[in-house]
Amino acid sequence: MFMRQGSAILLLASMLVLLHSGYARKNEHFGDGFSIDLNYPYDEVVKVVQEVANNGTIQGTFEYKGTRDLDGAQTVKSTSAFPAWTERGTVLYKQRPNTLAPENFYATGDSGTVVVRYVVQPIGPNSTRLRIDALFDADTHHGPHPSNGQVENKEFEVISSRIDDLEEQHKKQQQEAVLEQQQAKLEELQADLDRENAKLNAVTAKEQELQKQLEARQNVGGARVRTTSADLKTEPYNKSKTVRALSQGEVVTVLLRTTSWYRVQAADGAQGWVYRLMLEATR
């Protein structure tokens, strides 16, 4: 009695599993492919897809449990698994031959070739359409077995990740370019500042030289009256007022010297101008 009930339950459970598997299989969308419009330049997308087509791996399917992808894939220029592409754009293919019953393809139970097709089409200056299709071409040639979308999705994940990497690189390059421009501007400003400082230093050096010359003229040293007498004038010309007369041999301090006149100070503190030929330097 119990054995019959147990057998009936087991049979019912098996039927439910089969029904559920059949239902799940019917609701998978085989052959839909994958299509997306990218806000990325056409030439850049083609380069990325070429990298992925040459990476030697088909994502999203496998032969044996415990593995995730198909290694040993290779890029090819054309394949009979897909009809010839007649529209615009770039078409690339990646295939993996000698594959036994790959997962995520419709009704596969024998050996054949997994083929992935990438179609890249320009839309605008910075807009590109990417289409990915995958199928299993059995060696029995009973027709292609389309993917349920897993292969296409996983392949696009690799492409998308690579595009993200490139965008990060572009951002970094842009930031570096901005920093280089800023550095160049700073260097230009520094060069301008250096030139202005050089001019200022030249002016300062000139002022210092003139100051030395002035100090030299203002501190010539001592002098002695060589003539019988010498008039100490208020201004350096003959008709100016005489402060007093200096006697021969009187020693004065020279404060300033011009071509023809010396400004001097007598021992009593009187200051004025004396014609230079009336004086001789003291030793």
Write the pLDDT tens digit of every residue in 105-140: 998 788 999 999 999 999 999 999 999 999 999 988
Q: Is residue 105 within 8 Å of residue 137, measured between CB atoms?
A: no
DSSP string computed for 159-180: HHHHHHHHHHHHHHHHHHHHHH
Residue 9 confidence (pLDDT) above 50: no
Summary mean pLDDT of the chain: 87
Encoded tokens for 24? 């799940």
DSSP-assigned letter for residue 103: T
Stronger pLDDT, 245 or 11, i.e. the higher one: 245
pLDDT tens profile 11-53: 444 443 333 444 344 456 788 899 999 999 999 999 999 999 9
Helix (H, G, I), strand (E, B) or coil at 276: helix
pLDDT of residue 213: 72
Kindly report the number of other CB atoms within 10 A of residue 28's CB atom. Answer: 14
Query: Structure pTM?
Result: 0.59
pLDDT of residue 15: 41
Nearest residue to 58 (alpha-carbon basis) of 111, 107, 110, 104: 104
Strands 271-275 and 261-265: antiparallel
Q: Which amino acid does the sequence have at 6? A: G
pLDDT of residue 210: 86
User: How buried is 166 (Cβ within 10 angstroms: 0-12 exposed, 13-18 middle, 19+ buried)?
Assistant: middle
CA 24/CA 26 separation, integer angstroms = 5
The model's confidence at residue 216, banded by pLDDT at 50, 70 and 90, is low
pLDDT of residue 29: 78
CA 198/CA 219 separation, integer angstroms = 31
Question: Which structural domains are found in the chain, ordered by start?
Answer: 27-170 (3.30.530), 218-281 (2.30.30.40)
Stronger pLDDT, 219 or 72, i.e. the higher one: 72
Nearest residue to 225 (alpha-carbon basis) of 254, 200, 202: 254
CA 59/CA 149 separation, integer angstroms = 11
